[in-house]
Amino acid sequence: MGDTEYERYIRTNELFEQLRPIDGLVAHDELLFQVTHQTAELWMQVALHDVRGAVAHVEKGELAEAADLFTRVGIIEDHLTKQLAILERMPPKQYVHIRRTLGRGSGQESPGFNAMLKMGETIWPAIKKLIEDRGVPIVDVLDAPDQHYDLHVLFRSLYELDQNFRTWRFAHFRLVERQIGGFVDSLKGVPAEQLVHGMREHQLPELWAAVNDFTKRVNAEDRERGESTQYS
């Protein structure tokens, strides 16, 4: 327990106990490496909490509140991406020492990330029901955002959430390229290059399918009017 009210509420002593002692670090940058992971796990708990809160708002028809929370999740993801820039500057030789103490531990075992990978399963049923109740498919919202403004704002927050998650995955791959290279076997014995496949995944594929449908619709309308189409 700390001495001040602040220390007791924030639980700073317990928090600092989670860090490897400074005199036991295997490399100067091990503290940065550990704190980057630990803070990411904490932020992902906040993101997941906000996703659940946003879904509850959607279910109650409180779309502005839902959009607000989904937007915040996107900002948390963005924050996680930005903080990788600090680790990116670590000399790879520092990571060699850290890696030797990691054993076979891997980010693939991150509880926060693995729960984030299931975000779509939490979000989509509520969105699907909303679309059905309103009788307005996503493509119609893309076609006339001003006529469905609340849905437009909600979907925009979801596009950002999904997009920022992929941006984190890309930034992480870039970090891997800087630290160990993209074509070497990782701690789990699979090439780091496999991460590229994950970078292509969407958590809410229906949103992105709707963009394609939108362009196809516009092209069909153009063809009907005898105008050339730019994107097939």
**Binding map of ligand HEM across residues 54-83, x = CB under 6 A, - = no contact:** ------------------------------
Cβ atoms of 36 and 83 closer than 8 Å:
yes
Taking residue 74's Cβ as centre, other Cβ atoms within 10 Å add up to 23
d(CA 38, CA 29): 14
Q: Look at the block and give the residue holding tokens 């990116």.
A: 88
DSSP SS3 for 91? coil
186 binds ligand HEM (CB under 6 A): yes
Q: How far is the CB of 206 from ligand HEM (least distance, A)?
A: 21
Q: How far is the CB of 7 from ligand HEM (least distance, A)?
A: 26
CA distances from 79 to 47, 82, 131, 136, 171 (A): 11, 5, 30, 33, 12
- Which of the stretches 71-79, 102-110, 128-136, 150-158 binds ligand HEM when contact is defined by CB under 6 A? 102-110
Nearer to ligand HEM, 37 or 216 (CB): 37
Among 13, 45, 101, 108, binds ligand HEM (CB under 6 A): 108
Cβ atoms of 127 and 56 closer than 8 Å:
no
- Which of the stretches 19-27, 36-44, 66-74, 155-163 binds ligand HEM when contact is defined by CB under 6 A? 36-44
What tokens appear for 58 in the block? 């959607």
25 binds ligand HEM (CB under 6 A): no
Cβ atoms of 31 and 18 closer than 8 Å:
no
> Residue count at the site for ligand HEM (CB under 6 A)?
23
Which residues make up the interface to ligand HEM (CB under 6 A)? 36-37, 40, 87, 95, 106-108, 110, 113, 169, 172, 175-176, 179-180, 186-188, 190, 192, 195, 198
